[in-house]
Amino acid sequence: KAKQAGRNTVCIYDPGMQAEIATQVMLESQLREAIVMQQLRLYYQVQVDHTGRPFGAEALIRWQHPQHGLISPSQFIPIAEASGLIVEMGKWVIDQACAQIAAWQTDPKTSELSLSVNISARQFRQSNFISMVKSCIQRHHINPNALRLELTESVLLENVDDAVHIMTQLSQLGIQFSLDDFGTGYSSLQYLKKLPLYQLKIDRSFVNDIVTDSHDRTIVRTIIAMAQSMYLGVIAEGVETEAQMELLLNNGCRRYQGYLFGKPMPIDTFNQLLKNSFG
């Protein structure tokens, strides 16, 4: 009887849900091929200092789907995470990023640029993560100082001691770590001070209303003060207006990323943006 009831619950007919599951399953199998078929793209979003001068970029993945067009990471990263495909995909991202860093480092005009790469939980916890990153750096002969890895609080808090170990190993090579979406997680200062971090990245949800919402302004001020007291750098993401940038600057945040300076763009467009800034 219980078995019957169980079967009844899973067999409830819901065309919407069925269609959604079918789409997920289809996307997963297509995602498997996307790497081999070279449908993945890295887009680059500029990061600037308080004078508006670019000092680096964040690499953001896109999927150029043959039928559906350009798909955003929020639509396929969760599928990649759940299926384990994220490991291979993440490796591809780091390899591409290192290749791009190598290209920039051959030209004195762009040799100082940094490139940030997002790392997912599953990828970070792979036993060969450290050696994979190392071999990428060696293969492309890059100065590892240019490579920044972005981690979120939830990734780090899963196992703080392991995280510290992995980060320390990679920090010794010169790689720097940013804490992405900062303020949206649950980090305690206790954990934060243990981590070998280079900078905090203020989540764009706080930047968004910084001009109109005094609570968000207070949160942003607190994050900046916290970063300073721990000798960490700080960068704001999602900066869309001059007013937001000015408020951030007046509170001591001198690095920004957001549509005000540029949307994520293909590498050719990005290199053109650099040319326009650096000559």
User: Which residues are near ligand C2E by CB under 6 A?
Assistant: 45, 60-61, 72-74, 77, 90, 93, 118, 120, 150, 180-181, 204, 237-240, 257-259, 264
Shortest separation between residue 152's beta carbon and Mg ion, angstroms: 8
118 binds Mg ion (CB under 5 A): yes
Cα-to-chain-centroid distance, residue 263: 14
User: Which of 86/192 has CB closer to ligand C2E?
Assistant: 86
Q: How far is the CB of 121 from ligand C2E (least distance, A)?
A: 9
39 class by beta-carbon count within 10 Å (0-12 exposed, 13-18 middle, 19+ buried): middle
19/37 with CB nearer ligand C2E: 37
The beta-strand segments (E) located in the chain are 40-49, 54-65, 69-71, 114-118, 147-152, 176-182, 199-202, 233-236, 255-257
| Closest CB to ligand C2E among residues 8, 268 | 268
Please pick, from the candidates 181, 192, 200, 224, the single residue that binds Mg ion as defined by CB under 5 A. 181
User: Which one of ligand C2E, Mg ion, none interacts with residue 73, CB within 5 to 8 A by kind?
Assistant: ligand C2E
258 binds, among ligand C2E, Mg ion, none (CB under 5 to 8 A by kind): ligand C2E
Determine contact, residues 174/198, Cβ cutoff 8 Å: no
Q: Which is nearer to Mg ion, 30 or 120 (CB)?
A: 120
Size of the site for Mg ion (CB under 5 A): 4
In sequence order, the 6+-apart residues with CB closer than 8 A to the CB of 245 are: 239, 256, 260
Closer of 18 and 203 to ligand C2E (Cβ): 203
CB of 70 to ligand C2E, least distance (A): 11
Least spacing, CB of residue 35 vs ligand C2E, in Å: 12
Report DSSP letters for 40-86, one per residue.
Answer: EEEEEEEEEETTS-EEEEEEEEEEEETTTEEE-HHHHHHHHHHHSTH
Q: Does 153 bind Mg ion (CB under 5 A)?
A: no
Among Mg ion, ligand C2E, none, residue 77 binds (CB under 5-8 Å by kind):
ligand C2E
Please state, in angstroms and rounded to a whole number, the distance separating the CA atoms of residues 179 and 177: 7
The answer to whether residues 179 and 152 touch, using CB atoms and an 8 Å cutoff, is: yes
105 binds Mg ion (CB under 5 A): no
The CB-of-42 to ligand C2E minimum distance in angstroms stands at: 7
The DSSP letter of residue 126 is S
State CA 257 to chain mean position distance.
12
Residues 6+ positions from 174 with CB-CB distance below 8 Å:
143, 144, 145
Residues that bind Mg ion (CB under 5 A): 118, 150, 180-181
